Amino acid sequence: MAPAKTRLLLAVCFASCFVLCPPALRPEPASPDLCPRPSVGDAVPEPNELRSENGVLDVDLAIRSEKLPSGSIRYCYVSPTGGQSPTLRLSPGDLLVLRLKNELTVPAPSAIGTVSPHSAHSAGKNSDPCLSGAMTGLSTNLHFHGIAIPPVCHQDDVLKTSIASGAPPFEYRFRIPEDQPPGLYWYHPHIHGFTKPEVLGGASGAIIVEGIERADSAVAGLPERVLVIRDQDLLNPNSPPSKWEPVLPKMMLDRDGDAANTGTGFGRPAKDLSINFVPVPYPDYPPAAIKMKPQERQFWRVLNACAITYLDLEVLYQRKPQPLGIVALDGVPVNQNGAHSDFVLWENHIGLPPGARAEFIVTGPPAGVPALLVTRTVDTGVGGENDPNRAIVTITASAGAPEPRSVLASSPVPLPASNLPWLGDVAPVRTRKLYFSEKSLDPNDPASPTEFYLTAEGQAPAVFDMNSDVPNIEVRQGDVEDWIIENRSSELHAFHIHQLHFLLLDWMRRPVSEPYLRDTINVPYYNGRALEYPSVRLRMDFRDPAIVGDFIYHCHLLEHEDGGMMGMIRVLPRLRASNPAR
């Protein structure tokens, strides 16, 4: 097995410098009442939790929107008690019944600045939410990211399901699969053409499939925190950089209209960040606050629910990186390949593209030692957004720190071993190649709309067509395939596929030995000079019979997905004499 640094790879491009200076707190304008949020510098609140009882979790949620004085639109999922974006906690085999009421009142703009034909697909032609396909600025639906449930209406279909504003509550009903790996998943809207503004405005929440201590005994008995990092429009877009930052050339915009990558680790970010809705705004990044008992071990479950922002998380004690014990990535424990029952992967930073999750052990600082959770700069390429160095949370050691409300079982019964062969040991039946590419409609105008493509080799690059029922790729349930994903553009992209997880085999044509699965991974950008395009090789797992049907794969930078960087895959029922890998 390769060294840990090679094994992890974490699919991000890093800058080498890192500087953070103590920021000064500043007040935030009063929040409107419809979707109230914490203030700058607040303690990180724990999300509201809804837990299944007797094998059932029955949930009512409303999605709401409001326009802020700045012109940005804020979104929230609200329960009948007023709690926002509750964490849904279920065990394998539990039934989720979720009734979603669309109370949106402010139409979202198209994330790419124009209304493409697909964004009004079938609008007004069919009132049945399962058949409507009406992708508009006032419609919504839900995607249950990472969970292997059928891609059908009332479960996890996002190709046709569209709930109109003011329509009766729409019921989602499905069981968490008995063999779903225990870990962190999430829910968010997936209305094509408008996904970015809804997620950017805060429409997201965590899902926890219980039992991770049964999969990895290293976390047994640990208190756990759920931390959802979101991005949002800048609170202070016209502020000059903080005085502690170096002087940079005049800020430029990329083709998506955001602050362009400076390549320095500094400068105005494309978006602000928040953690459990506590904003951490440019230019001073006043961090939110967490208190822990001195040197207490906790289990942190971190979701990158950003619409476009990459994270490279690091915990610093007196500016020194601390070891983080990774137990799961993208909802799947890292010991699922048969590693020992208390296996932990120790790293000093964790890269998370939008949509990805990491669950890891953190040891709190000693009393009196200053500590920060930060994100290091991520090199998104000359065509990408600016994701600079910034603090997110101050961590303070206090003997009186309150314990998190949730603690993992201290004497768990181990999960039974999987009956499936490890994905890395299954020979693929075929290899496919796909590639990311882009085209500006006016190369001389940085503000010109950009078309985004994710193309299967042999097909012509085209913006994804919501009106078409012809799949871009057909596979057979029971098969395992290798996919080579190239990036022919000048910015970083994050490949994601619904309904399943995959295994990273090659990174930039170099074999790697990652003993764990993912559902989202970065594909490095093309610098214009290399003789070959950057690529990753993934082993795709179509063995689960629950995923038969039509679903999608796309870039998880949501303005790219909204702009057409998406494809549809059709999983056909397996043939009786098909591959016996399952």
Instruction: Kindly state whether residues 258 and 205 are assigned to the same domain.
Output: no
Please count the residues of the chain. 582
Are 265 and 356 members of one domain? Answer: yes
SS3 of residue 196 by DSSP: helix
The number of folded domains in the chain is 3
Judgement on whether residues 457 and 498 belong to the same structural domain of the protein: yes
Q: Assess whether 141 and 267 both reside in one domain.
A: no
Question: What does each C-alpha distance from 285 to 104, 112, 377 come to in angstroms?
Answer: 31, 28, 14
pLDDT at 336: 86
With contact defined as beta carbons under 8 Å apart, do 118 and 466 qualify? Answer: yes
Is residue 437 within 8 Å of 461, Cβ to Cβ? yes
pLDDT at 446: 63
Q: Which two tokens stand for residue 56?
A: 């059932």
The last residue of one of the domains, among 210, 239, 272, is: 210
The sign of the dihedral angle between the CA atoms of 187, 192, 198, 199 is: positive
Mean pLDDT of residues grouped by 10 in the chain (582 residues)? 40 36 39 83 96 97 95 95 95 98 92 43 66 92 98 97 96 97 98 96 98 96 98 94 82 79 90 98 97 97 98 96 98 89 94 98 96 97 94 97 95 90 96 96 76 96 94 97 97 97 95 92 95 97 97 97 96 76 48
Residue whose structure tokens are 């994710």: 454
Q: What DSSP assignment string belongs to 428-468?
A: PSEEEEEEEEEEESSTT-TTS-EEEEEEETTS------TT-
Q: Is residue 41 in a domain?
A: no
CA distance 235 to 546: 43
Distance CA 165, CA 139 (A): 6
Residues 451 and 504 sit within 8 Å (Cβ to Cβ): no
End-to-end CA distance of the chain: 26
Same domain, 344 and 380: yes
Return the structure tokens found at 218: 């290293």
Considering the domain boundaries, does residue 34 fall inside one? no
Contact 440, 255 (CB under 8 A): yes
Task: Verify that 55 and 203 share a domain, yes or no.
Answer: yes
pLDDT for residue 251:
75
Strand partners, 567: 553
Q: Are residues 243 and 177 in the same domain?
A: no
The answer as to whether 414 is a domain residue is no
Residues 6+ apart with CB under 8 A from 421: 581
Same domain, yes or no, for 482 and 538? Answer: yes
Which is nearest to 456 in space by CA: 552, 557, 312? 552
Residue located via tokens 């030692």: 369
Establish if 416 belongs to a structural domain: no
36 part of a folded domain: no
Say if 37 falls within a structural domain: no
SS3 call for 441: coil
**CA distance linking residue 477 with residue 573, whole number of Å:** 5
What is residue 447's predicted lDDT score, i.e. its pLDDT? 65
Token couple for 16: 């080498």
**What is the rounded CA–CA span in Å between residue 446 and residue 57?**
48
Are 392 and 246 in a shared domain? yes
Q: Model-level pTM?
A: 0.92
pLDDT for the residue 147: 98
**Residue 201 and residue 243 share a domain:** no
Asked if residue 547 and residue 450 are part of one domain, the reply reads: yes
CATH code of the domain covering residue 484: 2.60.40.420
Domain range for 277 is 4-25+217-407
Report whether 332 contacts 516 (CB < 8 A). Answer: yes
Q: Identify the pLDDT of residue 14.
A: 33
C-alpha closest to that of 50 among 77, 88, 80? 88
Q: Is 414 exposed, middle or buried (0-12, 13-18, 19+ CB in 10 A)?
A: exposed
- Indicate the residue among 381, 407, 433 that finishes a domain: 407
Kindly state whether residue 35 falls inside one of the protein's structural domains: no
Residues 63 and 197 in one domain: yes
Among candidate residues 186, 210, 234, the one where a domain is terminated: 210
The pLDDT tens digits of the residues spanning 348-385 come to: 999 999 999 999 999 999 999 999 999 999 999 999 99
C-alpha distances out from residue 480 to 130, 164, 497, Å: 30, 38, 14
CB-CB contact of 571 with 148 (8 Å): no
